[in-house]
Structure 1
Amino acid sequence: MIKSFVAAGLALLLLVAASAADSKDNLGRPDPEKMRAAIAKMAGKETATVIYTNVKMADGKSDALQTDLAIVVEGEKIARIASMSDLASLKVDGASVVDAGNWYLTPGLIDTHVHLATLPAADIAAAYLKRFIYSGVTTVRDMAGDVRSLADLSRASLINEIPSPDIKYSSLMAGPSFFKDPRTFASGLGETPGEIPWMNGITEETDLKIAVAEARGTGASGVKIYANLPGSLVRSIMKEAKRQNIPVWTHAQVFPATPFDSVEGGAVAVSHVCMVAQYAAKPGAAYHDKRPDITAIKADNPVILKYIKALQKAGTVFDATLFVYPPASDDMEPSTCSREFAGELVKAFVAAGVPVSAGTDGVSKANDPYPALNMELDNLALYAGLTPAEVIKAATINGAKATGVDAEVGTIEVGKLANFAFFEANPLEDVKNFRSVALTVKRGKKFYRADYKHQGIPAMPWPEVD
C-alpha cells in the first residue's frame, strides 16, 4: 500500500507541474491562484457545489424528522440549509443535484475508540477504514498506537489517497512502570517505549511543557493518559495541556489517581464504564492488579452517584465502550463486568445528563460488512435503553465533543464540514437501520455504499509467541 501511495503522489505532482506550466509570469513563477487550484486537485479536495434536495434529517437533537430540506455543499463545507420551497431562490449556478428524497440523513457517525496501529499494518488498517467510510462513519478517534503510521494514514485520508474517515489520534502518557506492557513495544518499534513523544513515561521530574509540546508535535489531536500516575501528575498534565490547547482523554481510572482526578482536572472524555464499578468495589486497585469482585456493586452505589455528579458538573463525555464487555453468562467470574451491568451504568449516566459517546475499542468479525460501531449503537439501545435519537446523539454530537472537533463536525450546520450519511431506512425508528446506509459524504466527497465490495479483513498482526 505504501508503494501505491508513493506512486499516486508522484503522478499527482506531475499533474500539478503540468497544470502550472502554462501559467507562469515572465520570471518563470507559477500563478499562485492556479497553483493553489492545481494543488487542491492533487489533494482530491472537493471544489464543486452540490445541492442535496428533499432531505429528511434526523439530527440527534430530537425524536422528530426535519423534512423538505435542501442542503447546499460548496467544496468541503455546508454553505446553506433551506426549505425546498426556497430552493429556487438559492440561485446556485452550475451546481449538481442529488435527490435524497428516498433516504434519511444523519450527521456523519463517529467511533470514539479505535486502535488502528498498535502494531502497524497499513494495508489492514486501510481495509478497516474503508469499511468505516462506506458505513456512514466520517471520523474516528484512535486511542493510542504508533503515531508514525497514524500520521501517514491520516494524511492519506485527508487527501483521498485511501477511502477513509478523518483520523484523530492521541499521544499516550503513563507512569514509567506501565511501559512493560508489550503493546507499548509494538507501538514504539525502533524506539524505547516510555522515552518517546507518543509513548511517554511521566514522572515528577518530567518537564511537562516539553512533554505536551512533543505530543502536539506528533500531529496528535489529544493526549491520552493511560495508567500508573498519581492524581497530582494527572492534574498537572491536564493543566499544561489546556495551556497548550490540546484536549486530554483518559481511562476512567488511572491508578493511583482516582476517577475524580481526571474529571475534576479537566478531561474532555473518559473511557470504559466498568472501570467506575471496579473503583467503587476497591478504590485502591492498581491497573495490573487482579480485578475486584463487583457482584455487590449497583448503578446506585454512592461512589458511582458521586462520580456521576462530578461528570455532570464538568460536562465530561463518557466513552462507554459497551462493545468490549461480554454478555452475562452463568459461569461469569465475579470480577467480570457484563454488558448488561455496563448498560445499567450507562443508563444511569444518561438519566443524569452525562453525555455518552459511541466508542468500540474493538473490531467486528472479518466477514462482517459493517464495523463494530454498528454493534455499539445496537448495544446502547438494547442494554442502556437509549432511544434512537439518543443513540444518534451519542454517535454524532457527543462523539464530536469527545474528540474535540465539535466546532467542525457532529451537527448539520452552515460553516461546518459536509460530513453526513444517508440511509434507506429511518434510524429514528430503529437503530438497526444504520445498516441501510446508501451514501456517506465526508468533506463533501461522496462514497456510495453500492461501490463497496466487502472482503474479509484479517486481524491486526501480532508476533508468534512460543
Structure 2
Amino acid sequence: MNLKYAAIAIAVMFATVHAAEEKPKANTQQDRLNKLNGLALGRVIYSGATLIDGTSAAPRSGMTIIVKDDRIEAVLPTTQLTAQQKDGARIVDVAGQYVLPGLIDSHVHYATNPDRPYAEAELKRNIYGGVTGVRDMAGDARELAGLSRDALLNRIPSPDVFYASLVAGPSFFKDPRTVVAALGTQPGTVPWLYAVDDKTKLPLAIAQARGTGATGMKIYANLPGTLVRKLIAEAKSQNFPVWTHMQVYPASPYDSLGATAISHVCMIARHVREQGKTAYGHNGEPSYQGLTAEDPGIKKYIAALAESGTIMDATLSVYKSEGPHCHIELAGDITRAMHKAGIKIIAGTDTDNTGEDAFPVVDHELEKLVKYVGFTPQEAIIAATANAAEALGKQKEFGTLEAGKYANMVFLQRDPLQDIANVRSVILTVKRGHEFARADYKFTPLPVHED
C-alpha cells in the first residue's frame, strides 16, 4: 500500500511540475505575439503629475495614471493609489511635471513625393516632441500604409499615421503631384487617387478608398456640388470619415457642409471675393483689402457651418503676414468668429517645419491659435487632442486622458496653460504605452526634401 501511494505521489508531482513548466511557455508565446504586434507590455504607474486631460476641466495636481500594456487602466489622485495597484508595477515619479494627451497634427503631407528617409525623420521629430498622431491628407497610399504599419508595430519611432484616400474630378489628375504619388500606375485610376464623375458607382469608390487602409476619404478638387454632397452622404453611410477642402470648385463651400472636417479657413474669404471661380488653383487671388469676419457673406457661411457640425481645420500655418494671399490676421479673425459660433477647430499645419528646428511644427500652429485667434492655451490643446481625435473618428480611442483609452500622453517640465510655448518642454512621450524619452532624441538637421 505504501508503495502504491508513493507511486501516486510521484506521478502527481511530475504532473504538477510538467504543468508548471507548460504555463510559462504559453505566456512566453503570447508575449512574443504581443511584441510582434507592437504591444507595450506590463503595468506602469506615472505618479504625481498635474493632469491636463484634453477637456475643458481645470487642471488637477497630484494625479496618477496607471497604464496596463497599451491602455490607460486608471486615472486617480496619487493619495488614492493602493498597495494592490502598486504590486508588480513599474513606478515612474512624475511629480512636478504636467501631463496632457499626446498632440495630433491634423494636416501633414509625408508622401505626396514619397521620400522615406525624410518622412521617418519628420515622424521621429514629432514623436519625441509630444506628437502621438498625424493625419496625412493624401499622397502615395502605398508609402503611407508602410509608415502606418511600422509605426503601429513600433518598428520606427513615430506617431500613429492616419491617412486619406483622395477623390477628385478627372481633370484634376493632370496635376504633376498626382503623377508622382501614383508612380508605376495611372493617377485617377488607383483607389488612393481616384477620379469620379456622375457615372461613378459611389459605394464602390468609398469601399476602394477604405481598402487602402486609409482612415478617411478626402474630396479635393474639380467636382460639382451635387457630386460632392453625394460623396459625403455615401461616406457617412459607410461610417467612413470624409474630409474636404472648404471649397472643392466648382462646388461652393456650402456643398462641403456635413463633411467630418473641412480644411483652409481662408477659402471662405476667397469665395466671398471671387464667387465665379470654377477650378482649383492658387493663382490670381482677389484682393482681401478691408475684408473681416463681419462681412455678411462670411457670417452667413459661419452660421451654416455651425449648424452642420463640421469641424474646421484652419491651417493657420499656411498664411503669412504679407504677400498677395489671405493674411494670417484675416485667417485668425475668421477662425475666431467660427470658434465663437461653437465650431470645433483642429490644429493642422499643412506645412513642413524647417530642417533646423528640433521640435514639431504643430507647436507653431498652437501658438498661432493663441496669438491670432485668441484661444486660451487650454483651448489650443483641445484643438490638438480631443477635437483632432474626433476628426479622425477615433474619439473613443484617444484624445483625452481617461481609463480605457490608449496610453497616448506627453509629460512636460513647464505648465502649458501659463504659456503655450511650454509644449516644447517635453520630458517624455508615451504612445500606446511605449515610452520615448526626450533625452534619448539626438536631433540632427532633417534631410532636404522637395515636394
Normalising to structure 2: TM-score of the pair?
0.92
**Equivalent residue number for residue 382 of structure 2:** 393
Alignment of 1:13-24 (within 5 A): none
- Give the whole-Å Cα distance in 2 for the aligned partners of 1:458 and 1:141: 22
> Is 1:319 matched with 2:313?
yes
**Equivalent residue number for residue 351 of structure 1:** 340
Contact 1:321 1:359 in 2 (8 A): yes
**TM superposition shift of 1:24:** 9.3
Percent of pairs with identical residues: 48
Listed one character per residue, the Cα deviations across residues 147-170 of structure 1 (whole Å, up to 9, x for unaligned) are 000000000000111000000000
**TM superposition shift of 1:373:** 0.6
Q: Please identify runs of 4+ aligned residues in structure 1 that moved more than 3 A.
A: 31-36
- Give the whole-Å Cα distance in 1 for the aligned partners of 2:26 and 2:295: 64
**Equivalent residue number for residue 272 of structure 1:** 264
Contact 1:171 1:223 in 2 (8 A): yes
Find 2:248's aligned residue among 237, 249, 254: 254
Alignment of 1:191-340 (within 5 A): 191-263=185-257, 266-286=258-278, 287-288=280-281, 290-328=284-322, 332-333=323-324, 336-340=325-329
**TM superposition shift of 1:42:** 2.6
Listed one character per residue, the Cα deviations across residues 265-294 of structure 1 (whole Å, up to 9, x for unaligned) are x21110001111001112221313622222
Listed one character per residue, the Cα deviations across residues 70-120 of structure 1 (whole Å, up to 9, x for unaligned) are 111000000111111210265342100111112101111000000010111
**Equivalent residue number for residue 439 of structure 1:** 428
Query: Partner of 2:64: helix, strand, or coil?
Result: strand
Segments of structure 1 that go 5 or more residues without pairing to the other structure are 1-22, 26-30
**Equivalent residue number for residue 363 of structure 1:** 352
**TM superposition shift of 1:302:** 1.5
More deviation, 221-230/296-305: 296-305
Q: Which amino acid aligns with 2:341?
A: A
Q: Which amino acid aligns with 1:413?
A: E
**Equivalent residue number for residue 421 of structure 1:** 410
**TM superposition shift of 1:33:** 6.3
Q: Which amino acid aligns with 2:259?
A: A
- Give the whole-Å Cα distance in 2 for the aligned partners of 1:112 and 1:299: 24
**TM superposition shift of 1:327:** 1.8
Query: Partner of 1:349: helix, strand, or coil?
Result: helix
Contact 1:142 1:167 in 2 (8 A): yes
**Equivalent residue number for residue 402 of structure 1:** 391
**Equivalent residue number for residue 16 of structure 1:** none
- Give the whole-Å Cα distance in 1 for the aligned partners of 2:202 and 2:27: 42
Contact 2:228 2:251 in 1 (8 A): yes
Listed one character per residue, the Cα deviations across residues 185-243 of structure 1 (whole Å, up to 9, x for unaligned) are 11101111111100011100111111111100000000000011111111111121112
- Give the whole-Å Cα distance in 2 for the aligned partners of 1:385 and 1:157: 34
- Give the whole-Å Cα distance in 2 for the aligned partners of 1:428 and 1:70: 19
- Give the whole-Å Cα distance in 2 for the aligned partners of 1:430 and 1:140: 23
Q: Considering only CA atoms, is the larger Rg found in Structure 1 or Structure 2? A: 2
Q: Which amino acid aligns with 1:273?
A: V
**Equivalent residue number for residue 167 of structure 1:** 161
- Give the whole-Å Cα distance in 1 for the aligned partners of 2:165 and 2:448: 23
Aligned CA-pair RMSD: 1.9
Contact 1:285 1:291 in 2 (8 A): no
